[in-house]
Structures are given as structure tokens and as C-alpha cells.
Amino acid sequence: MLNLKIVKEKMNEFPSYLKSWVKTFTGSLTIFCLLILFVMPFLSANQSFTHVFLRQFSLAMIFAIFAASWDLLTGISGQISFGHAIFFGISGYICAYLIKYQSFPIWISIIISTVVAVFFGLAIGFPLLRLKGPYLALGTLAMSLILLKLFLMGSLADWLFGSEGISALPGLAATPVIEYFILFIFMILTFVILIQISKSKFGTILKSIRDDEVGSDASGINTTKYKIYAFMLSSFFAGLAGGFYALYIGAVNPTGNFGTVLSFFAILMASLGGLATISGAALGAFFFIFLEYALIEIGVVEIGNLAIDFGLYKFAIFAVILIVIIRFAEHGILKPLLERLKDLWDLLLGR
């Protein structure tokens, strides 16, 4: 699948490739965003900034990785998953268990838990991939609910830690700024890898399976094999995000790590940004996290006698925004946004 020679060639032309990419509109916009993200932690040393605001960025980055992994599986490969929290949660639990009860170092725990998530991807993908479309969606949803309920049971608490899970884990890093940069690097890595995959021949095959599985089969592609690859790759990054999330929180518990709501977070973020774009997942995640942040920040607004507590109504407001966005921008907000911006930019330059 991977041809070393081609990779070498690509590496050789990398600088020029990069140069031409930077010159494109999306390229320069991406660089601009990355630069902003890079300088962000240096803007203020205020605790309120580093420990509250930056941490929201870190959270958004974790969810960006998670949502991008979902986008690879569903947006690119067309395998609808409603149970992505399986990998997220399993990895978080393994990571927490290894650190807390086996005293493994943090990074080794993350690596092991991610690998375990991949095995789960294999184990769950293998039987479930016979299903198509909404059936697969329900199958994965059911799988995640089974895990959730098993982990929740008080009578199994001796084995699965019960509803209270594992707590008092060390943080990912000593300060939020270091944590921010670790996640920043991993987010960039994830996105570079996932975008490259989606653009590669391998990605083309995955997309062909999404568009027409029978046709792909007729083109001599072993679709099952590629779907399992997609499942494993996706669960790898979901697992990575899950491990980071466990350490970000410092604890794991069934609802918080296996909950259906997390699977839906991934779906919402990825589809807000735009399905099959990968980078849309990042936009969706940041939008999602900061909308909530902003609504809490706005707090109570009094208009005449009417007091609207945006903090309290945040989920209702969020639901409305979600419905409106999906209703009027079915393909997410990233692509249309970029196109409009590009049009404006071209106009500005007089093109």
C-alpha cells in the first residue's frame, strides 16, 4: 500500500510542494490559523487565561482529533458510526488503569491504550462491517451502550470500577501551556496524517467504498479489508484522543467516557465543519467548545424585564444553532465559509 519510493519522491519535492500549497488560499489561511494557535499561549500569563481559556483550547484540540477520526470512518469511508465513544472510552480506561494501578509512565500508557483501541477497532469492526448504512450505525451504537451499561453496573464494580470509575490521575503535563503544546503538536500530526490519508490512493479507495461499495468490489478492491483498515485507523486516533481526554480530566467514569453523548459530539463537530473534509472536524470542535464557552461567558442578559440566562439555556441555544446550521448548510460550514472568504479575497485583490 505504501510505496517507499513514492514517499521518498514526495519528500524530495516537499519544500516546493509546501511552497505552492502555502500560496493557495486555504494554505495561507491554515498557516494563519496555526500561527494564531501557536502564539496564543504567549498572549497572557494571567492564570485566568492560561488555566481557563487555554484549557478550553486544549479540550477543543482533543475533540478535534476525536471528531477527525470519526470523519475518516464516516465522512471518508462512509461507515456510519454512532458508537465512536467505544474507542474513546476504552482507551481512556486502559490509560487510567495502567497509570493508576500499574504505575506505568504516562506516555507508555497512552501508547498501550491507543494500541488496545486499535484492537477494539478490529474486534468490533470485523463482525459489524457486514452491516451497511443505518444498520451499522445502530450496531455501533448498541456496542457502545453495552460497554456503557457494563461499566456502570455496581455489581461488576470489582472488575470494571463501577459508576465512579478511576480518579486522581496525573495531568498530561505540569502546566496548561505545556499541555496545550503537546495537544497542539498531536492535533497537527493527526490532521496532517489524516488529510494525507484522505488524499492518498488509499483514501481514494476508501472514498470509492463510501460512494459505491458494490462498484468498488467490482473494481477488484477487497472492500472488507479496507473497511477494517479504516476502522482501525479511526480507532487509533479516537483512542489517542480518549487517552488524552482521560488525562485532561484526570479521571474516567462510564458516562463521561463511554456516553452516547460523546459519540454524538464527534458526529456534531465533524458535520458542523463539513463531512469528509477532515479539517472541518477541527473547525467544528473549536466552534462547539467555544460556543458553550461564550454562552457561559455572556451569562445573564437583561432586556427590559426579561432576563435571559444564556449560561442556563446554553444547550437549548446550542441545539437551535445546530439545527439551523445542519438545516441550511447541509455540508457543514467549513466549505461554504472558505468559498465565500475566497471570493471576497479575490474581489479584494481585484481578481
Nearer Cβ to other proteins, position 173 or 207? 207
Residue 39 binds to other proteins (criterion: CB under 8 A): no
CA distance 335 to 282: 13
CA distance 208 to 228: 15
| Residues between 45 and 64 with contacts to other proteins, criterion CB under 8 A | 46-53, 55-56, 59
| Cβ neighbourhood burial of 335 (10 Å; 0-12, 13-18, 19+) | middle
Q: How far is the CB of 307 from other proteins (least distance, A)?
A: 13
Residue 26 binds to other proteins (criterion: CB under 8 A): no
Q: How many residues bind other proteins, per CB under 8 A?
A: 104
CA distance 100 to 92: 12
Q: How far is the CB of 238 from other proteins (least distance, A)?
A: 16
CA distance 158 to 184: 37
Residue 35 binds to other proteins (criterion: CB under 8 A): no
Nearer Cβ to other proteins, position 115 or 166? 166
Q: How far is the CB of 210 from other proteins (least distance, A)?
A: 8
Residue 164 binds to other proteins (criterion: CB under 8 A): yes
Binding mask 255-274 for other proteins (x = CB under 8 A): xxx-xxxx-x--xx--x---
| Residues between 89 and 118 with contacts to other proteins, criterion CB under 8 A | none
Residue 145 binds to other proteins (criterion: CB under 8 A): yes
Residue 251 binds to other proteins (criterion: CB under 8 A): yes
Distances in Å between the Cα of 250 and the Cα atoms of 189, 307, 339 are 24, 36, 40
Binding mask 190-209 for other proteins (x = CB under 8 A): -----------x--xx-xx-
Q: Which of 135, 159, 300, 339 forms a contact with other proteins (CB under 8 A)?
A: 135
